[in-house]
Amino acid sequence: MRTGPVTLQKHGTFSTKLVNWEYTRFRATPRGLSILCGRSEARGPVVVHKYSTKGKLLSSWEVHTCPDGRPRPHSVLEVNIPSQTNGASSMSTQKQILINCTRCFGLILLHDIVTDDKSTEYAVYTDERKKIKPQDICQGPGASILAVNAIPESKSVWQYVWQGEKLEFKKKIPIATDFPPHIIYDERNDLLIVSDFEEKEIWAYKMETHNVAWRFTEKNKSKEIEKVEIMPCAMALDLAGRLYVADGKNKRVLVMDARSGKFQQCLDMSELGTVRDIAWSDQHHLYADQSMLTAVHTNSQGGLSITHFAICPKQ
């Protein structure tokens, strides 16, 4: 796959009924066939929505176990839970994990199939010592789960592994920033990549040693964006090793080399307004074997819209 500059080819936009982007997190499901959104309502339950790539609302869940009247960002992630079959490890059916950063200090599992049985929602991890409030989550090495600790001054990402249908703590990864909004794991380079919009920095840490692999700051950014303040938020990776970073202060997405942190190009998103979240898929919903970048952005009505782009090599 080519790793040079890319261009974006727009393929479809739809608007959601959601507003207040601060309380909303999006994830594309495997192969980009649907989009998950976790949202915390003010003084109400956490709600998870599943959209098709064409904007149809497929299903919704309400999480009743954790409302406490304090809206917080909630992240949702589709995962496969490892299982043992005749002594060999295999993967079970797809499920959703909803991050819960309110009073239960834990993670909630929602089954992919919505039923009237309320027992389909249950805690897969709860920290009774109240040492971690899981914030943003992502897939880690293997089938592990990485979670930002939202407790002030914790400056750490915690890794969990599956034991049956429960998660167990494995290790704590120290980071230089305090509960950053987004994390992503780069399997190819074994890197935990962290964005920090308050300090305007992006950090990459080696998973094995916890050492800093690279750091992108205001001081080392390229001349192309030298005079413009950045606010790195959501991130996405493609199979070629490109790191896409939504610039929450400007109408653009930055493209970087994930291994080195070197800036490559800016993708103009001025027609969309401010991009709040992004997701990448190796399967475009219109074209087979065509990469897709999904952008979540504000619209003129104050709500959130979702636009899909095919990622094409720059001619």
The answer to the question of residue 122 being in a domain is yes
How many distinct structural domains can be found in the chain? 1
Inside any domain, residue 212: yes
- Strand pairing partners for 166? 163
pLDDT at 128: 85
Cα(90)–Cα(83) distance, integer angstroms? 5
Q: Is residue 1 part of a domain?
A: no
90-106 per-residue burial string, b: 16 or more CB within 10 A, e: under 16: eeeeebbbbbbbbebbb
- Give 200-232 as a DSSP string: TEEEEEETTT--EEEEE-TTTS-GGGTTS---E
Please state the φ and ψ torsions of residue 109, each to the nearest 5 degrees.
Answer: -105, 135
Give the span between the Cα atoms of 260 and 86, in whole angstroms.
42
Alpha-carbon separation of residue 284 from 49, 65, 279 (angstroms): 21, 36, 12
Q: Which domain holds residue 174?
A: 6-313
Q: According to the model, what pLDDT value does residue 33 have?
A: 72
Look at residues 134, 146, 140 and name the one whose alpha carbon lies nearest to residue 179: 134
**Amino acid sitting at position 59:** S
From the number of C-beta atoms within 10 Å of its C-beta (0-12, 13-18, 19+), residue 233 rates as buried
- 29: domain CATH number is 2.130.10.10
Q: State the SS3 of 58-127.
A: EEEEEECCCCCCCCCCCCEEEEEEEEEECCEEEEEEEEEEEEECCCCCEEEEEECCCCCCHHHEEEEEEC
User: Under a CB-based contact definition with an 8 Å cutoff, are residues 42 and 24 in contact?
Assistant: no
Question: Rounded CA gap, 17 and 283, in Å?
Answer: 26
Contacts of 15 (CB under 8 A, 6+ apart): 55, 299, 301, 303, 304, 305, 306
Q: Tell me whether residue 91 is in a domain.
A: yes
3-state secondary structure of 22: helix
Residue type, 208: E
Helix (H, G, I), strand (E, B) or coil at 23: helix
CB 96 within 8 A of CB 120: no
The pLDDT averaged over each successive group of 10 residues in the chain (315 residues) is 80 78 72 76 73 82 60 74 65 69 73 59 85 89 92 94 91 90 93 91 95 85 65 90 89 93 91 85 67 85 84 84
Q: Domain for residue 56, yes or no? A: yes
